[in-house]
Structure 1
Amino acid sequence: MERLLAPLYLDSNRDHRRSVFIAGSGRSGTTWVSEAVNHRREYRLVFEPFNPERVPLCRNFRRKQYLRPDDRREEYLDTAWTILSGGLRSPWTDRFHRRFIVRRRLIKDIRANLLLGWMRANFPGMPIVLILRHPCAVAASKLALGWQDNLAAVMDQEDLIEDHIRPFEAEIRAASTDFECHVFLWCIENYVPLRQLSPDDVHLIFYEELLAHPEKEVPRLFSFLGRNFDDRVYETLDRPSPLSRRGTTPGDLTPDGWRGVVGPARTKRAAQILSLFGLDRIYGEGLMPDPEGAHAMMRDREDKVPGEVQEGG
């Protein structure tokens, strides 16, 4: 019955600031975190709206679209406003929605990391949550599920290359294995928003930290969102969603589950790739992240990012 009622709802507040945007690379835990945030079903869940293959409204977007923060093209702004303000209705995006009357939206997308700086500049005041997970775990999970890396489509965007990844272009194009391609894609997807956003612009969640220390990470998350929570959030974190269960691979169940799948040689190669981007400040050959490394990258962003929109400018 709930599935039949999913398209029947009233989204009564079109202010984009009433949306929470949850982003992350595929297989990084975005569904898991989204269901935790929505443990009281206070939000309308908008699932993967920036998917041009599933959402006709987004047909002018690439699968991993990059836009400079100062890009004011109406074809992109109008589409994004429709999504962020609750105007989009689609069987794909509404497939997990379960409430009739809603005033807040929870928008979850694994294709929007490269849009976050642009969103922050053009839709200020909307809370953004970015989830990071060890790239070896992400790559292993994607490979186990047979996911394509989409690296070629990303590297076809000249603005992206010019603004952020020209120094690494030769190494990226020389990637010779599927594993390397997935790791390079992870680097691009996370390097760009960490360069464009400041610690005040976004709340970072590290999959491993949330898994190991939910009692610390959950209050931090809900404080950022300005929302209350109850103990059901911990039950949700302990109980994977139906979507998560369908896509669970052996390496997803524990922080170190990927080690036996990836092996020492590929782990070392991933560390080499991360070091090119300076992302070894966050993830190395060990299991746990260094959140301070990510925040340091964000604090170092001033005067380094082309197309950045300054406050008041």
Structure 2
Amino acid sequence: MAAVLTRAERLARSVSVWDPHRDTAHAFLLSGSGRSGTTWLMEAYARAGRLRPIFEPFRPDLDARFSDLRPGRYVPVDALTLPSQEAVEDVLTGRYRHPWADQEASLNPLHRYRGRLIKEIRFPMWAGWVAAHHPDVRIVHVIRHPLATLSSQSVLGWSPERMDYMMAQPELVDGLLGDLPLRELAVADDDTALVTRWAIENVTAARTYGGERTALVSYDVALEDRSELAAGAERFGIAPAALTDLEKPSKMTHAKSSNAHAGKDPRAWMKRISAEQHASAARVLEAVGLAEAFPGDGTVDRAALQRWWDACGRP
């Protein structure tokens, strides 16, 4: 069993991480909603591309410098400044160190990182600002079937408490997403609210940094066809052939979740979804234009998903 590090040892380990680059041109963003497979992709891409993995750094509960970036905070792409901008810039340029964020980084002095891969489930709400102000930053966005995400979140006991905060932002609800019936969906049952939160995050991402600006990866498709990871690898400057050990589940895979990476049924979550949850998701998907991409049988129409992403991303 691996030794448990003390707080001082974890901090010393984080400070020791060697990141030789100090510009945003070496920043790679991996974005997606919570429980969408982003950790698995971070591990795969970081390993193959010699990228420093930075794991969900923007947590106000762990670092007060990000207190203005509360989870669910939306930032328009044309905002003059980004909340907690100085701290965010430190992450983008490799200056940031934190035991939590650096938990997967290598301390091998001979392992020279080519750049840094910042994985964050909070990116969908404000990474469009980063994309607009730092066009040299490369982005990959991951989308997982909303019912699979709901199943995983339910296993872990997630609640939609963030919805009230998200819905209280006029620039988001009446501005960017003003054409969607979000208020009607948000006041429904918890399952519908969780799927609505998934929709808000992914539609916001698509409308603020979608289209050709970003490589899109379907996590569900990638579980069955590893070639789905190629577009993301190429966006990050990685040869797809370098992706290895893809059968290994991420460290965030929950014991109660299906271990699809080890060859089990990637749609085992369907057995845990009720008829009511199917109906809730169908209403949300129809409202945001994703019904074709995510049919009721748990599969993903990859072409339809890409068409939606590209259409949202057009000016």
- Identical amino acids, percent of aligned pairs: 26
Partner of 2:308: 297
- Contact 2:65/2:84 (<8 A) preserved: no
Provide structure 1 residue ranges, at least 5 long, that are not aligned to the other structure: 305-313
In 2 relative to 1, CA 267–39 (structure 1 residues): closer, same or farther, beyond 3 Å?
same
Partner of 1:218: 229
Partner of 1:23: 31
Partner of 1:185: 197
In 2 relative to 1, CA 282–55 (structure 1 residues): closer, same or farther, beyond 3 Å?
farther
Alpha-carbon deviations, 1:250-303, whole Å to 9, x = none?
A: 356333112110123321221111101112132121222223323323443478
Structure 2 residue corresponding to 1:13, chosen from 17, 21, 29: 21
Return the offset for 1:184: 0.6
Alpha-carbon deviations, 1:63-108, whole Å to 9, x = none?
A: 1221111112264432321111112111221122113453410100
Name the SS of the counterpart of 1:128 in structure 2: strand
Partner of 1:140: 151
- Contact 1:251/1:261 (<8 A) preserved: no
Answer yes or no: is 1:83 the counterpart of 2:83: no
Partner of 1:51: 59
Structure 2 residue corresponding to 1:249, chosen from 243, 256, 259: 256
Partner of 1:309: none
Partner of 2:118: 107
Name the SS of the counterpart of 1:45 in structure 2: strand
In 2 relative to 1, CA 248–204 (structure 1 residues): closer, same or farther, beyond 3 Å?
farther
Structure 2 residue corresponding to 1:96, chosen from 104, 113, 129: 104
Answer yes or no: is 1:227 the counterpart of 2:238: yes
Return the offset for 1:127: 1.0
Higher mean alpha-carbon deviation, 94-103 vs 147-156, is at 94-103
Name the SS of the counterpart of 2:273 in structure 1: helix
Return the offset for 1:172: 2.6
For residue 247 of structure 2, what is the amino acid of its counterpart? D
- Contact 1:137/1:251 (<8 A) preserved: no
Higher mean alpha-carbon deviation, 26-35 vs 277-286, is at 277-286
In 1, Cα distance between equivalents of 2:93 and 2:81: 18
Return the offset for 1:9: 2.0
In 2, Cα distance between equivalents of 1:92 and 1:8: 14
In 2 relative to 1, CA 186–39 (structure 1 residues): closer, same or farther, beyond 3 Å?
same
Q: What CA RMSD, in Å, does the superposition of the two structures yield over aligned residues?
A: 2.3
Name the SS of the counterpart of 1:38 in structure 2: helix
In 1, Cα distance between equivalents of 2:57 and 2:70: 12
Name the SS of the counterpart of 2:59 in structure 1: coil
Provide structure 2 residue ranges, at least 5 long, that are not aligned to the other structure: none
For residue 239 of structure 1, what is the amino acid of its counterpart? K
In 2, Cα distance between equivalents of 1:75 and 1:31: 25
Alpha-carbon deviations, 1:15-41, whole Å to 9, x = none?
A: 112111001111100000011102247
Structure 1 length-normalised TM: 0.87
Alpha-carbon deviations, 1:207-242, whole Å to 9, x = none?
A: 11110100x2233332222223556x332x20113x
Name the SS of the counterpart of 2:181 in structure 1: helix
For residue 183 of structure 2, what is the amino acid of its counterpart? A
- Contact 1:6/1:96 (<8 A) preserved: no
For residue 20 of structure 1, what is the amino acid of its counterpart? F
Answer yes or no: is 1:175 the counterpart of 2:188: yes
Return the offset for 1:6: 4.1
Structure 2 residue corresponding to 1:239, chosen from 241, 245, 248: 248
- Contact 1:48/1:107 (<8 A) preserved: yes
In 2 relative to 1, CA 261–158 (structure 1 residues): closer, same or farther, beyond 3 Å?
same
Structure 2 length-normalised TM: 0.86
